[in-house]
Amino acid sequence: MDISIFSLGQLDPASSQPMYLQIAENIAAGIRDRKIPPNAKLPPERQLAIHYGVSRTTAINTYRKLEEWDLVLTKIGSGTYVTGGSGEAAMLPMPWQQLLVPHLKGPLAGILRELLSADLSGKTISMATGTPDPTIYPATTFNDLLNCRNADLTNADLGHISTEGYLPLRTQLAALQNQKGGNATADNIAVVSGSQQGLYLLAKIFINPGDYVVVEAPTYLCAIPTFQAAGARILSLPAPGPLQLDLLEDYIIRHRPKLLYIMPTYQNPSGRTINLSERQALLALAAKHRLIIIEDDPYSDFHYDQQPPPSLKTLDSYGGVIYLSTFSKTLFPGLRIGWVVASEAVITRLALEKQYVDLHSANLSQWQLNEFLRRGSFAGHLDAIRGEYQKRRDATATALRRYCGDSLTFFVPAGGFYFWCKLTHPSATSRQLLQEATRLGVSFVPGEAFYSDREESRDFRLCFATNPSSVLQEGIKRLAKALSSLTKIWDDGARTVRRTSKPII
C-alpha cells in the first residue's frame, strides 16, 4: 500500500494527546472514509514509524489501538490488515467521555484515586474505609438463615413487594426504634438499599437547585456530593466543639436553608457526640424556624463508655426530624439495608422517588434481616462487637500516644469507628502524610475529603474498626515513621514557604 495516503498534516507533537493515539485516529479516519479500503494490508510497523518520525514502540501502540477499535487485524507472520470492511467495523469508537454528563469533581476523587493506587497486594493496613471487620460479620447465622429461609420460599415471595419495604421488617424496625423512645409505626418506615440511598432520595425530594443545606464541617464525605448533585449550596457548621447555634440561626435568617444534615452521635469523621442540653437547644431553634433536620445515625449502637443521649428523633416535638440509619456497620455492608423514619407524608413521597431508581430493596436481604431480628439475635451480636471495638479503640489511643507523641492531637471518642487527628506541625498537610504513609504501608483519609470547601488540611480520619488491635498497632507504628520522615521537610518548608496571593493578570 502507498503509505503517502497517511497524512501527516493533522499531527501535533505539542498536544496532550499521545502521538500513538493521534496517528491511530488519523488512520482510523482514513479507514472510515474508505481512503484506506477494507482488507488493505497496512505498512509494517518499522515503515510506519519512519513515515511519522516516531519510535517503533509508538507504531506498535498505534496498531494495538486500531486493533482495540476492531479496525485492523494483525495476522502473525503476515502483517496488519484493515478488517472486513463491513460498515460496522469501519466505524470510530463511541466518544463516551464527550457524551457523558460531567461528573462533579470534588477533593474526594483525587483522594480516592490515591487510596486506590496504594498497595493493592493486601500488605497495606487500611485505616481509611469505615467498614466493620469482616471476620466478625455474623456470617454463620446469616448462612443458616438463608438455608432455612430458602426451604420456605414460594414463588410469590420472589416477586415484587412494596417499595417502602417488607412489611414484617418495617414493623420490627418501628419496634426497634420505639425501644429507644418514640412512637413509630410501619407507616413511618421506609427500607432503603443502604442509608446512602436514603440520603440520595431525601436530597431528591427536598432540594431544588440553589437551595441551601447546612452540614457539619467536617461531615460524612459522601453527603457533600449527594447534596451538591441535587443542586444544593452548602453552608458549614463547625464540628467538633460546642454546637454553634448562633451561627446556625444566622444561616437560617440569612439563607433560609432547606435542611440541616447532622450526625449527633459519634460523628463520622470527628467522633464527637452532641450532649443532651445542646440537642434540646438545637431542636428548640429548629422548631422555631420549622427547619428540617436529617439525623444520620449509623453509629449510636457502638457506645463504649456509657449510653449516648437520646436521638434527636426521640426528642423531636415539632415533627421536623427525619431519622436515617443502616445495618452496614452493625451487621455487614453487603446486606444493603438502611431505613428512614419520618412522617407518613415523607415516606410516601420518598417511596415514589425510590421507584425511579429501585422498585424496592432486595427481598432476600429483607427476609433474612427480619428473621435475624425476630430470633432476637441482634442484641447479643451488638454486645459482642461492642466489646471488641472498645478494645480496638483503646489500643489505638494507646498506640497513638506511644508512637506519635506530640506530632498530632486527638480526643478519644466515646463510641463509633473513628479517631479524628490533627497534625501539630504548622506546615504539615495530611495529604502529604498520606502519600508517605501509603508508601510505608498504612492508609487513612485526609481531612479535606470531609469538607465542602477545603483543598488542604492538617486533620485526618483513622478508622479503628476494621483491623484487630495488633494490626492497628503496627499501622500506627508505620504512621509514626511516615511522620518522622516528613518532619524535616515540614521544618524546611516552614522556613521557606510564604503563602501570598498574586493578582491573576
In whole angstroms, the minimum distance from the beta carbon of 297 to ligand PMP comes to 8
Contact predicate 42/2, CB 8 Å: no
Three-class HEC string of 379-431: HHHHHHHHHHHHHHHHHHHHHHHHHHHHHEECCCCCECCEEEEEECCCCCCHH
Residue whose Cβ sits closest to ligand PMP = 194
Q: Which is nearer to ligand PMP, 367 or 450 (CB)?
A: 450
In whole angstroms, the minimum distance from the beta carbon of 327 to ligand PMP comes to 7
Q: How far is CA 363 from the centre of its chain?
A: 25
SS3 of the chain: helix, strand, coil, percent, to 5: 45, 15, 40
Q: Which of 79, 333, 468, 493 binds ligand PMP (CB under 6 A)?
A: 333
Main-chain phi, psi angles of 443, to 5 degrees: -130, 160
In whole angstroms, the minimum distance from the beta carbon of 296 to ligand PMP comes to 5
In whole angstroms, the minimum distance from the beta carbon of 385 to ligand PMP comes to 16
What is the strand order of the sheet 233-238 is part of?
A: 189-192, 338-341, 321-326, 292-296, 259-262, 212-217, 233-238
Q: Which is nearer to ligand PMP, 184 or 221 (CB)?
A: 221
Nine-digit cell at 60? 506498535
In whole angstroms, the minimum distance from the beta carbon of 166 to ligand PMP comes to 17
Does 432 bind ligand PMP (CB under 6 A)? Our answer is no
- Range in contact with ligand PMP (rule: CB under 6 A) among 188-196, 232-240, 251-259, 367-375: 188-196
- Range in contact with ligand PMP (rule: CB under 6 A) among 28-36, 326-334, 342-350, 477-485: 326-334
| C-beta atoms surrounding 96 within 10 Å | 7
In whole angstroms, the minimum distance from the beta carbon of 449 to ligand PMP comes to 12
Residue with cell 451561627: 247
d(CA 262, CA 239): 10
Q: Which is nearer to ligand PMP, 240 or 493 (CB)?
A: 240
- Determine the size of the site formed for ligand PMP (CB under 6 A): 13
Q: Which is nearer to ligand PMP, 24 or 202 (CB)?
A: 202
Contact predicate 182/313, CB 8 Å: yes
Does 194 bind ligand PMP (CB under 6 A)? Our answer is yes
Q: Which of 338, 415, 446, 475 binds ligand PMP (CB under 6 A)?
A: 338
In whole angstroms, the minimum distance from the beta carbon of 358 to ligand PMP comes to 13
The half-sphere exposure of 150 on its side-chain side, counting CA atoms within 13 A, is: 6
Please report, as residue ranges, which positions from 222 to 281 form the binding site for ligand PMP (by CB under 6 A).
Answer: 263, 268
Nearest-5° angle of CA 189, CA 195, CA 197? 95
Q: Which of 195, 361, 432, 438 binds ligand PMP (CB under 6 A)?
A: 195
Q: Which of 63, 200, 212, 220 binds ligand PMP (CB under 6 A)?
A: 220
- Which of 235, 233, 232, 239 has its CA nearest to residue 218? 239
In whole angstroms, the minimum distance from the beta carbon of 228 to ligand PMP comes to 16
d(CA 421, CA 482): 15
Q: Which is nearer to ligand PMP, 206 or 220 (CB)?
A: 220
Please report, as residue ranges, which positions from 129 to 168 form the binding site for ligand PMP (by CB under 6 A).
Answer: 130
Q: How far is CA 354 from the centre of its chain?
A: 20
Please report, as residue ranges, which positions from 104 to 133 form the binding site for ligand PMP (by CB under 6 A).
Answer: 130
Q: Which of 45, 211, 296, 448 binds ligand PMP (CB under 6 A)?
A: 296
Q: Which is nearer to ligand PMP, 30 or 264 (CB)?
A: 264
Does 447 bind ligand PMP (CB under 6 A)? Our answer is no
Q: Which is nearer to ligand PMP, 368 or 473 (CB)?
A: 368
In whole angstroms, the minimum distance from the beta carbon of 220 to ligand PMP comes to 4
- Which of 320, 328, 382, 315 has its CA nearest to residue 180? 315
Q: Which of 58, 226, 328, 370 binds ligand PMP (CB under 6 A)?
A: 328
- Which of 304, 315, 262 has its CA nearest to residue 465? 304
Q: Which is nearer to ligand PMP, 60 or 364 (CB)?
A: 364
Please report, as residue ranges, which positions from 21 to 50 form the binding site for ligand PMP (by CB under 6 A).
Answer: none
In whole angstroms, the minimum distance from the beta carbon of 226 to ligand PMP comes to 9
Does 218 bind ligand PMP (CB under 6 A)? Our answer is no
Q: Which is nearer to ligand PMP, 6 or 266 (CB)?
A: 266
In whole angstroms, the minimum distance from the beta carbon of 298 to ligand PMP comes to 5
CA-based end-to-end distance of the chain: 53
Contact predicate 192/387, CB 8 Å: no
Contact predicate 56/49, CB 8 Å: yes
Nine-digit cell at 125? 493496613
Q: Collapsing DSSP states into helix, strand and coil, what is residue 234?
A: strand
d(CA 472, CA 462): 10
Residues in touch with ligand PMP (CB under 6 A)? 130, 194-196, 220, 263, 268, 296, 298, 326, 328, 333, 338
